[in-house]
């Protein structure tokens, strides 16, 4: 007889009934191959004594095993493991592993072996982040109030059913109106797709535009997750230099003489990571090249709303008369990153196809949340939030830059950004960013190590420092810790 007293442990503090625990324990023994088909199970009296339960508990467990087909009762002989069950694979085979995954279980292709793990900022306290909004300023109470209000209304229940994969119609109307009013982007609500943040928009665009062997042009320094998205689609990357005036469009023009390009990915406002803005002259030239060479422009305008010293340039999408631009933006970046609502605007048939593709990977968004957001757009709450936060973020930018200029003159060089939520800082070559990040965390400050901004063509001893999410006290505390860490490298 098997050592059931050792193999089966009952937990009287668990939520599951004892007979259920006992039944599950036997199923585990069968699936692991410890009990084989046609093996006899101990009598209820014997097993009850071994595992410390009463006989009725054992009988109930056996009845459940029989009803589920794991065991069979043979009159005047006892309970047996079902003889018709297949013999399970040996544990050695099932546990076999290779560099390409668990070959013993199933074969699969791991294209993400070298992927950088995402940063979990929900578990950190004081942080100099990449450049995110202060979630404490967002009108979350107002958003949740509208969410609850809609859910209680009789027509609000309909939003709990399946809806359009393009997103809430009301929010698409609100976004179309907002883009027209603030950015000069004239689009019908039918040409707007609501996404789970700008990253989903980049993915959908890449999947529709690119395939193996296609070429996409992007900045020499660039948003790393966009690069990975294009590579995942099978595309080759063509790197274009980025200077103080944004992407070098003259360089792109020369490349077009010998290379066919399917798409150009560009962040014209506050380029990620270096925060530079594409000049008007280069914008017009890029649009003209797209018209001549028939490539798409993926315009990632993730934080258009934050400009401090002057009015922003109009997006490429607002002056595109040939429908070459796919315009992607984010509501999340202006409210709170985890809310995950963005939008994509483009030619009507392209947006229809993107909505169909979105349906395959994520049937639809949270319609009730999208409807609640549309209320905030329509009642002016979004505009009020932007006006309030813009003033606060400008003050924080100025204070952050003042401290950097006065206290870090030997360690950090930077330009004051005209907009956005982060500052591109270049650190002294003597500073090891990995060691800096580790030492800062020991002192209670999260700060990145700069690897996220590096690629095969770009590797600066630099990183973006976000100022928007820190109030004055937090900012002084964070920079004081950073100063103490950097002093060890001098």
> Per-residue pLDDT tens for 104-141?
568 888 888 877 777 777 777 899 999 999 999 988 89
The two three-digit tokens of residue 458, written as one number: 């770009």
Looking at residues 352-361, what average pLDDT do you find? Answer: 94
Where is the domain boundary, 367, 382, 397? 382
What pLDDT is recorded for position 208?
97
Where is the domain boundary, 360, 382, 404? 382
Residue 298, pLDDT above cutoff 90? yes
Residues 433 and 476 in one domain: yes
* Strand-strand pairing, 263-266 and 215-219: parallel
- Report the alpha-carbon distance of residue 312 to residue 418 in Å, rounded: 9
What pLDDT is recorded for position 93?
41
Residues 482 and 442 in one domain: yes
Residues 363 and 391 in one domain: no
Residue 71, pLDDT above cutoff 90? yes
Residues 438 and 389 in one domain: yes
What pLDDT is recorded for position 8?
92
**159 or 391, which is more confident:** 391
What pLDDT is recorded for position 407?
95
Residue 94, pLDDT above cutoff 80? no
**336 or 179, which is more confident:** 179
Least confident of 153-167, 250-264, 359-373: 153-167
Residue 99, pLDDT above cutoff 60? no
Q: Is residue 34 part of a domain?
A: yes
CATH of the domain at 212: 3.40.640.10
Residues 368 and 432 in one domain: no
What pLDDT is recorded for position 439?
96
Q: Is residue 88 part of a domain?
A: no
Residues 356 and 225 in one domain: yes
Domain range for 27 is 4-81
CATH of the domain at 396: 3.90.1150.10
Residues 284 and 377 in one domain: yes
Chain-centroid distance of CA 384 in Å reads 27
Q: Is residue 428 part of a domain?
A: yes
Residue 69, pLDDT above cutoff 50? yes
Residues 295 and 322 in one domain: yes
CATH of the domain at 65: 1.10.10.10
**60 or 310, which is more confident:** 60
> Per-residue pLDDT tens for 378-392?
999 988 998 999 999
What pLDDT is recorded for position 95?
46
Looking at residues 157-161, what average pLDDT do you find? Answer: 76
Residue 98, pLDDT above cutoff 60? no
4: number of Cβ within 10 Å = 17
pLDDT category, 477, cuts 50, 70, 90?
Answer: very high
Residues 377 and 388 in one domain: no
Residue 455, pLDDT above cutoff 70? yes
What pLDDT is recorded for position 97?
44
Residues 314 and 416 in one domain: no
> Per-residue pLDDT tens for 171-229?
999 999 999 998 999 999 999 999 998 999 999 999 999 999 999 999 999 999 999 99
Residue 366, pLDDT above cutoff 90? no
> Per-residue pLDDT tens for 385-441?
989 999 999 999 999 999 999 999 999 999 999 999 999 999 999 999 999 999 999
**232 or 337, which is more confident:** 232
Q: Is residue 41 part of a domain?
A: yes
Share of the chain above pLDDT 90, in %: 72
For the chain, how many structural domains are there in total?
A: 3
Q: Is residue 143 part of a domain?
A: no
Q: Is residue 373 part of a domain?
A: yes
What pLDDT is recorded for position 363?
85
Q: Is residue 90 part of a domain?
A: no
What pLDDT is recorded for position 162?
79
Closest CA relative to residue 115, chosen from 273, 195, 232, 266: 232
Residue 89, pLDDT above cutoff 70? no
Residues 213 and 345 in one domain: yes
Residues 320 and 405 in one domain: no
Residue 103, pLDDT above cutoff 60? no
pLDDT category, 15, cuts 50, 70, 90?
Answer: confident
pLDDT category, 158, cuts 50, 70, 90?
Answer: confident
Where is the domain boundary, 328, 358, 382? 382
> Per-residue pLDDT tens for 17-54?
999 999 999 999 999 999 999 999 999 999 999 999 99
pTM of the model: 0.81
Q: Is residue 259 part of a domain?
A: yes
């Amino acid at each position: 007889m098997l050592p059931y007293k050792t193999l089966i442990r009952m937990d009287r503090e668990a939520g599951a009934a004892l007979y259920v625990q006992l039944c599950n324990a036997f199923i585990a023994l069968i699936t692991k191959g410890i009990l084989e088909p046609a093996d006899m199970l101990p009598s209820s009296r014997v097993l009850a004594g071994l595992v410390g339960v009463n006989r009725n508990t054992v009988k109930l467990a056996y009845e459940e095993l029989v009803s589920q087909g794991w065991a069979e009762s043979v009159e005047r002989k006892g309970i047996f493991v079902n003889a018709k069950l297949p013999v399970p694979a040996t544990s050695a085979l099932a546990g076999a592993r290779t560099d390409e995954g668990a070959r013993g279980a199933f074969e699969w292709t791991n294209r993400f072996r070298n992927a950088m793990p995402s940063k979990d900022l929900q578990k950190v306290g004081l942080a100099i982040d990449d450049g995110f909004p202060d979630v404490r300023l967002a009108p979350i109470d107002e958003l949740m109030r509208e969410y609850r209000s809609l859910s209680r209304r009789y027509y609000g229940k309909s939003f709990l059913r399946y809806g359009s994969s393009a997103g809430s119609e009301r929010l698409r109307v609100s976004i179309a109106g907002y883009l027209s009013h603030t950015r000069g982007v004239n689009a019908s609500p039918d040409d707007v797709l609501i996404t789970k943040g700008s990253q989903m928009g980049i993915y959908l665009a890449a999947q529709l535009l690119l395939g193996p062997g296609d070429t996409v042009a992007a900045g020499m320094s660039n948003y790393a997750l966009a690069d990975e998205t294009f590579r995942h689609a099978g595309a080759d990357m063509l790197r274009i230099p980025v200077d103080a005036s944004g992407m070098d469009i003259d360089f792109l023009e020369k490349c077009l003489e010998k290379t066919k390009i399917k798409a150009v990915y560009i962040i014209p406002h506050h380029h990620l990571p270096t925060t530079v803005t594409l000049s008007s002259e280069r914008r017009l030239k890029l649009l003209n090249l797209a018209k001549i060479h028939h490539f798409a422009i993926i315009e990632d305008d993730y934080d258009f709303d934050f400009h401090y010293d002057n009015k922003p340039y109009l997006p490429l999408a607002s002056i595109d008369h040939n429908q070459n631009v796919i315009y992607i933006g984010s509501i999340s970046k202006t409210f709170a990153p985890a809310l995950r609502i963005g939008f994509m605007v483009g030619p009507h048939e392209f947006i229809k196809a993107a909505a169909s593709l979105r349906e395959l990977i994520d049937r639809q968004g949270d319609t009730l949340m999208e409807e609640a957001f549309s209320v905030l757009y329509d009642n002016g709450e979004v505009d009020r939030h932007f006006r309030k936060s813009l003033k606060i973020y400008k003050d924080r930018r100025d204070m952050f830059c003042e401290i950097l200029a006065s206290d870090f003159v030997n360690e950090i060089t930077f330009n004051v950004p005209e907009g956005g939520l982060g500052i591109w800082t270049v650190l002294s070559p003597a500073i090891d960013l990995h060691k800096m990040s580790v030492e800062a965390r020991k002192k209670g400050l999260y700060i990145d190590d700069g690897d996220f901004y590096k690629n095969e063509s770009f590797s600066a001893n630099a990183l973006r420092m976000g100022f928007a999410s820190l109030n004055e006290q937090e900012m002084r505390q964070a920079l004081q810790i950073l100063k103490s860490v950097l002093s060890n490298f001098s």
